RNA sequence: GGACAGGUGGGUGAGUGGUUAAAGCCAACAGACUGUAAAUCUGUCCCUCCCUGCGAGGUACGAAGGUUCGAAUCCUUCCCUGUCCA
């Protein structure tokens, strides 16, 4: 994989570019739907590719390692083949599970000892093993194993954790260098900037990781319970310190109206479970804000979810029907809602990219800020 | 006509003398969700009062009467429902 910078905003940090991968070109800034277990929950690959036109999705090392196992996936021809997804895949390392499964793991210098949430088996994840597993998947972009601390943490433990994440990144890159041939479209490994909510630790981490000359860099440890303004602040303190000619990936963010805020701070890639999870829980993102479809006010609402959305769901169904499906617990609701929410995110990113390419991003950003009041 | 079984808050269904405005589940209503242990979770859910809390008051377990300090729970009569026998 390699990155091609196409345009930069003159007044903000926004950029537009192309991610060249062995499974297609990804236009950035990009939103990556989350497909933890080799599926974006509720959506068929056909719709992901056609209706939604997603160019890259996420998978998760921890989950796919436990089930069905990386060796099985390798034997099945790799993750792309296994899940019949021809476009790009980025796999997270399991670093986030260090945070989300905090009751089931033990961290040491060597790595993370997980107890499987499926059957209690113990598994040791190391910076080396997670690279191996992701290479077995055949991922286009691999993430290095990191430690994602919760919020808040003391400065002292944030520093220790960050330093360990840097050491782990070095080990991951060392293993990675041994395994790949360095071809331009080959798999890329991204290190992850940590440092909790301490700007100087973030800066220190970014400086240290630059040494790796990585094909791309991630900003992790966001949206772990901190105020949303802090997430943006940390991004602002980190992104400019990363190499200009490499993509920057803000992990796990954010709300729809925050997407341009991250882009304005120099972020090129984002992923988040919000559009897919909230869809399943009845929360639909629209050009006019959130629609909680279960509310009684939508019982006989004949309008589409979002009059300005061109997705299949909005082209075809009324709010009243979607509410009915949700109330009835019908699985079709999840599919239709997820299609809409992902379309909303992906279209938002396409608009952002277009604005950057045409030099109108500052105006676009101001427009969003005026209507949503973010920042 | 006879023999059993049973009538509990929107539904279902616990509870068989006191800490019961009455479990649980469902429905309804509202909220949460940020590198997915999530088709999940939380709250409200008889009425009234400032809902400020472990608040206060009222009404309530088919109906009416009774026993008791105290009844959804015990007794009497009536009404209704289901199954079986004629």
pLDDT higher than 80, residue A162: yes
* Residue among A140, A146, A268, A271 flagged as catalytic: A271
A271 tagged catalytic:
yes
pLDDT 10s digits, A175-220: 999 999 989 999 999 999 999 999 999 999 999 999 999 999 999 9
**Chain B footprint positions (protein CB, under 7 Å):** 27-41
pLDDT higher than 80, residue A357: yes
pTM passes above 0.90: yes
Q: Which two tokens stand for residue A46?
A: 């056909």
pLDDT at A22: 98
Q: Straight-line distance from CA A219 to C1' B14, in Å?
A: 54
Average pLDDT, stretch A278-294?
Answer: 97
> CA-CA distance, A330 to A195, in Å (whole number)?
43
The answer to whether the CB of A352 falls within 8 A of the CB of A14 is yes
pLDDT at A373: 67
Whether the beta carbon of A269 falls within 7 A of nucleic chain B: the reply is: no
Q: Straight-line distance from CA A297 to C1' B49, in Å?
A: 29
Q: Measuring from the CA of residue A165 to each C1', which nucleotide is nearest?
A: B35
Instruction: Kindly tell me the sign of the dihedral angle through the C-alpha atoms of A66, A68, A73, A74.
Output: positive
> CA-CA distance, A324 to A176, in Å (whole number)?
50
Strands A88-92 and A141-143, by their bridges, are parallel
pLDDT 10s digits, A216-230: 999 999 999 999 999
Average pLDDT, stretch A265-276?
Answer: 98
Whether the beta carbon of A38 falls within 7 A of nucleic chain B: the reply is: no
The answer to whether the CB of A205 falls within 8 A of the CB of A231 is no
Q: Straight-line distance from CA A236 to C1' B29, in Å?
A: 41
Q: Straight-line distance from CA A291 to C1' B1, in Å?
A: 63
Share of residues in chain A with pLDDT > 70 (%)? 99
Buried b (16+ CB within 10 A) or exposed e, A191-211: bbbbbbbbeebbbbbbebbee
pLDDT-derived band at A265 (thresholds 50, 70, 90) equals very high
N-terminal to C-terminal alpha carbon distance within chain A: 34
Q: Straight-line distance from CA A295 to C1' B39, in Å?
A: 18
Share of residues in chain A with pLDDT > 90 (%)? 97
Q: Straight-line distance from CA A221 to C1' B29, in Å?
A: 36
pLDDT higher than 90, residue A372: no
Chain A residues 180 to 219 whose Cβ lies within 7 Å of strand B are: 192, 218
* Residue among A92, A146, A306, A347 flagged as catalytic: A92
The answer to whether the CB of A127 falls within 8 A of the CB of A169 is yes
pLDDT higher than 80, residue A374: no
Chain A residues 324 to 343 whose Cβ lies within 7 Å of strand B are: 327, 329, 331, 334
Interface confidence (ipTM) of the complex: 0.93
Apex A340 CA angle, A87 and A227, nearest 5: 90
Q: In Å, how far are A53, A174, A199, A209, A242 from A203, measured between CA atoms?
A: 35, 23, 6, 10, 9
pLDDT 10s digits, A20-69: 999 999 999 999 999 999 999 999 999 999 999 999 999 999 999 999 99
Q: Which of A279, A286, A280 is nearest to A257 (CA)?
A: A286
Q: Which two tokens stand for residue A193?
A: 């900037």
Whether the beta carbon of A100 falls within 7 A of nucleic chain B: the reply is: yes
Q: Which of A353, A357, A266 is nearest to A7 (CA)?
A: A357
> CA-CA distance, A139 to A88, in Å (whole number)?
8
Whether the beta carbon of A41 falls within 7 A of nucleic chain B: the reply is: yes
Strands A24-28 and A283-286, by their bridges, are unpaired
> CA-CA distance, A304 to A204, in Å (whole number)?
49
The answer to whether the CB of A187 falls within 8 A of the CB of A181 is no
Average pLDDT, stretch A138-143?
Answer: 98
The answer to whether the CB of A56 falls within 8 A of the CB of A28 is no
The answer to whether the CB of A160 falls within 8 A of the CB of A42 is no
pLDDT 10s digits, A68-99: 999 999 999 999 999 999 999 999 999 999 89
**Cβ-proximal residues to A55 (8 Å cutoff; 6+ apart), any chain:** A24, A25, A26, A27, A30, A87, A88
Apex A35 CA angle, A30 and A39, nearest 5: 130
Chain A residues 51 to 80 whose Cβ lies within 7 Å of strand B are: 58, 60, 63
> CA-CA distance, A96 to A238, in Å (whole number)?
19
Q: What is the mean pLDDT of chain A?
A: 97
Whether the beta carbon of A313 falls within 7 A of nucleic chain B: the reply is: no
pLDDT 10s digits, A326-339: 999 999 999 999 99
């Amino acid at each position: 994989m390699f990155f091609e910078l196409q345009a930069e905003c003159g007044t903000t940090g926004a950029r537009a570019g192309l991610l060249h991968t062995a499974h297609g070109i990804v236009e950035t800034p990009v939103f990556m739907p989350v497909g933890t277990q080799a599926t974006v929950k509720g959506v068929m690959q056909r719709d992901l590719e056609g209706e939604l036109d997603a160019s890259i999705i996420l998978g998760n090392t921890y989950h796919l390692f436990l089930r069905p196992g990386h060796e099985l996936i390798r034997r099945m021809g790799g993750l792309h083949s296994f899940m019949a997804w021809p476009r790009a895949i980025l796999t997270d390392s399991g670093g986030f599970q260090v945070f989300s499964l905090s009751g089931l793991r033990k961290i040491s210098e060597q790595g993370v000892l997980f107890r499987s949430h499926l059957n209690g088996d113990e598994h040791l994840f190391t910076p080396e093993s997670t690279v191996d597993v992701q290479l077995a998947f055949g991922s286009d972009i691999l993430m290095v194993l990191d430690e994602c601390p919760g919020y808040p943490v003391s400065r002292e433990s944030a520093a220790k954790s960050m330093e360990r994440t840097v050491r782990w990144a070095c080990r991951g890159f060392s293993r990675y260098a041994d395994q790949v041939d360095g071809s331009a479209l080959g798999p890329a490994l991204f290190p992850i900037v940590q440092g909790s909510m301490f700007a100087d630790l973030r800066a220190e981490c970014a400086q240290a990781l630059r040494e790796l000359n990585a094909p791309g860099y991630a900003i992790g440890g966001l949206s772990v319970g901190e105020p949303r303004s802090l997430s943006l602040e940390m991004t602002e303190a980190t992104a400019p310190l990363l190499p200009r000619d490499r993509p920057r990936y803000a992990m796990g963010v954010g709300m729809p109206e925050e997407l341009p805020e991250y882009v304005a701070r120099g972020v090129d890639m984002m992923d988040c479970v919000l559009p897919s999870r909230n869809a399943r829980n009845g929360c639909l993102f629209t050009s006019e804000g959130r629609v909680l479809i279960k509310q009684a006010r939508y019982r006989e609402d004949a309008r589409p979810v979002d009059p300005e959305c061109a997705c299949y769901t909005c082209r075809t169904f009324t709010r009243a029907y979607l509410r009915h499906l949700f109330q009835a617990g019908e699985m079709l609701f999840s599919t239709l809602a997820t299609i809409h929410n992902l379309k909303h995110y992906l279209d938002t990113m396409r608009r952002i990219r277009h604005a950057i390419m045409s030099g109108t991003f500052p105006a676009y950003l101001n427009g969003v800020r005026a209507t949503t009041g973010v920042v």
